[in-house]
């Protein structure tokens, strides 16, 4: 065999040995890559690389496999030629891994029994959620039905008894305050128009007409403030402002009697006194709501016994005669002109007073409201009333007296009490100190 043939044979055997050693030790490991010049690696370099990998794998084998590796070592070449290196059969990748290729222990997977338990719990929670949704839907449906029945019951009750509702009042406290403001505004404008001496100069004092005598006596006895009546009788010069305050007091007192009365028309004092005592007894002993409902029903049925149109017309004539009697004290020439000058305002005052009478007496059932005015001669109390003539910098007397009331007030009675009240609107008053100051400045 020639030298060239021997070299080719040895080269082929070395290449085969390299491929088998790489597969057994570290997987597919390439031989030296070609150089940058494009030449293939030398056969000696491949053999040396293979021998180093074999030695490394042998060092990584356990002690029990050392004899097998020794037996697999090729015999010593004595013939002067290179013998073929037999493949190592006791070597595997699983028994001799490199340190860098040792995998970490994977997390243990859940067993089938655990998966089935979790699925069962999930199904149970879904069933409970569906049951709660069904119950919620049924409760909503029942609530809607109850609300519908309640609205129908309220509508039927309101239609059969419009005076009050079993659950709420037909008018609020705010509504009452607005009605009260309307009455006070009409009273102010009427009194200011008739008391203006520059528009209607008063003549010399004349005796009142015969047809006004009974109204004059009524006004003096029940409506006209005593302090101002004393000035009229003494023929003293009375300022226009004082005449206006006196006329406002007459109108305020008249409206307060009509609003607080059980009957807006002609009411018998004995009959109304009996109803007052009965209502006071109910307020002291029964539930406040029951007492207010009793008052609303009583006023409603008492009012239906009379012709409302005739009652309102009669009250307008009554108020007109009271105004004429009051005017006769400071300007008798206006007596016959009152219906033409302030006839529309008289109608407006009567209608506003009637609305206030109905609202307080028949539409408010949750609270016991009362319209108030201050009786002349009452000591002034700033906690319960306001000075209508108060100005900036005015020094208030420690003791002062009410001459007349110029606007109405509103209070709420405390349940089961006779005189204790909660003040909502303070009435405005004209004081004795104001009257003296005006007379000094005249």
pLDDT (tens digit, 9 = 90+) per residue, 257-301? 889 888 886 667 788 888 888 888 888 888 877 888 888 888 877
Which runs of consecutive H residues, i.e. helices, occur in 196-307?
213-218, 226-233, 240-260, 269-285, 288-303
Backbone angles phi, psi at 122, to 5 degrees: -65, -45
> 439: which residues sit within 8 A by CB, 6+ positions away?
236, 239, 242
Separation of alpha carbons 418 and 308, rounded Å: 32
Backbone angles phi, psi at 237, to 5 degrees: -75, 120
Tell me the average pLDDT of the chain.
75
pLDDT (tens digit, 9 = 90+) per residue, 338-384? 888 888 999 999 999 999 998 888 888 778 888 998 999 999 998 99
CA dihedral 231, 234, 237, 242 (to 10 degrees): 10
Domain segments of the chain: what residues? Answer: 3-31+43-74+84-98, 173-441
Q: What is the pLDDT of residue 67?
A: 42
Q: Bin 416: left if φ > 0, else alpha if -120 < ψ < 50, else beta.
A: left
* Mean pLDDT across 184-200: 90
**Structural contact between residues 55 and 73, judged by C-beta atoms closer than 8 angstroms:** no
Backbone angles phi, psi at 286, to 5 degrees: -105, 175
Give helix 240-260 / helix 226-233 axis angle, nearest 10°: 140
Beta bridge partners of 305: none
Predicted model pTM:
0.59
DSSP string, 141-179: HHHHHHHHHHHHHHHHHHHH-TT--SSS-SS-HHHHHHH
The tokens 């520059």 sit on which residue? Answer: 198
Q: What is the pLDDT of residue 37?
A: 46
Separation of alpha carbons 327 and 332, rounded Å: 6
pLDDT (tens digit, 9 = 90+) per residue, 227-238? 888 888 888 788
Q: What is the pLDDT of residue 48?
A: 47
* Mean pLDDT across 63-92: 45
> Residue 183: pLDDT band by 50, 70, 90 thresholds?
very high
- Tokens standing for residue 25: 């030790």
Residue 19 has pLDDT above 90, yes or no: no
| Number of neighbouring beta carbons within 10 Å of residue 50 | 22
């Amino acid at each position: 065999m020639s030298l060239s043939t021997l070299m080719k044979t040895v080269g082929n055997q070395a290449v085969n040995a390299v491929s088998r050693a790489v597969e057994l030790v570290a997987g597919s490991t390439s031989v030296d890559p070609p150089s940058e010049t494009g030449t293939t690696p030398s056969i000696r370099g491949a053999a040396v690389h293979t021998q180093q990998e074999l030695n490394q794998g042998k060092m990584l084998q356990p002690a029990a496999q050392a004899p097998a590796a020794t037996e697999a070592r090729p015999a010593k070449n004595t013939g002067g030629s290179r013998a073929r290196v037999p493949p190592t059969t006791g070597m595997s990748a699983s028994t001799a891994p490199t340190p860098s290729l040792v995998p970490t222990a994977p997390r243990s997977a859940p067993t089938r029994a655990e998966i089935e338990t979790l699925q069962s719990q999930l199904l149970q929670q879904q069933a409970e959620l569906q049951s709660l949704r069904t119950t919620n839907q049924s409760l909503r449906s029942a609530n809607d039905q109850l609300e519908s029945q309640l609205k129908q019951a309220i509508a039927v009750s309101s239609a059969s008894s419009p005076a009050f509702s079993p659950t709420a009042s037909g008018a609020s406290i705010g509504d009452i305050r607005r009605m009260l403001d309307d009455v006070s505004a009409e009273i102010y404008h009427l009194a200011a128009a008739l008391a203006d001496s520059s528009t209607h100069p008063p003549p010399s004092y004349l005796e009142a007409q015969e047809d006004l005598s009974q109204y004059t006596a009524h006004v003096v006895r029940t409506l006209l403030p005593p302090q101002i009546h004393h000035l009229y009788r003494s023929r003293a010069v009375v300022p226009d402002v004082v005449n206006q305050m006196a006329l406002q007091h007459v109108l305020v007192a008249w409206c307060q009697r009509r609003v607080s009365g059980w009957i807006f028309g002609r009411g018998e004092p004995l009959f109304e006194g009996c109803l007052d005592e009965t209502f006071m007894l109910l307020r002291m002993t029964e539930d406040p709501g029951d007492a207010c409902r009793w008052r609303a029903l009583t006023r409603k049925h008492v009012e239906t016994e009379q012709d409302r149109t005739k009652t309102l017309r009669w009250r307008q004539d009554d108020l007109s005669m009271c105004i004429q009697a009051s005017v006769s004290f400071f300007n008798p020439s206006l007596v016959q002109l009152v219906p033409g000058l302030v006839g529309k305002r008289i109608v407006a005052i009567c209608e506003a007073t009637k609305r206030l009478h109905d609202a307080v007496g028949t539409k408010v059932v949750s609270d016991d409201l009362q319209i108030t005015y201050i009786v002349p001669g009452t000591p002034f109390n700033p906690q319960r009333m306001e000075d209508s003539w108060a100005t900036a910098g005015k020094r208030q007397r420690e003791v002062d007296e009410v001459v007349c009331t110029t606007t109405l007030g509103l209070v709420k009675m405390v349940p089961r009490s006779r005189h204790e009240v909660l003040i909502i609107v303070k009435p405005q008053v004209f004081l004795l100190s104001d009257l003296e100051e005006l007379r000094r400045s005249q």
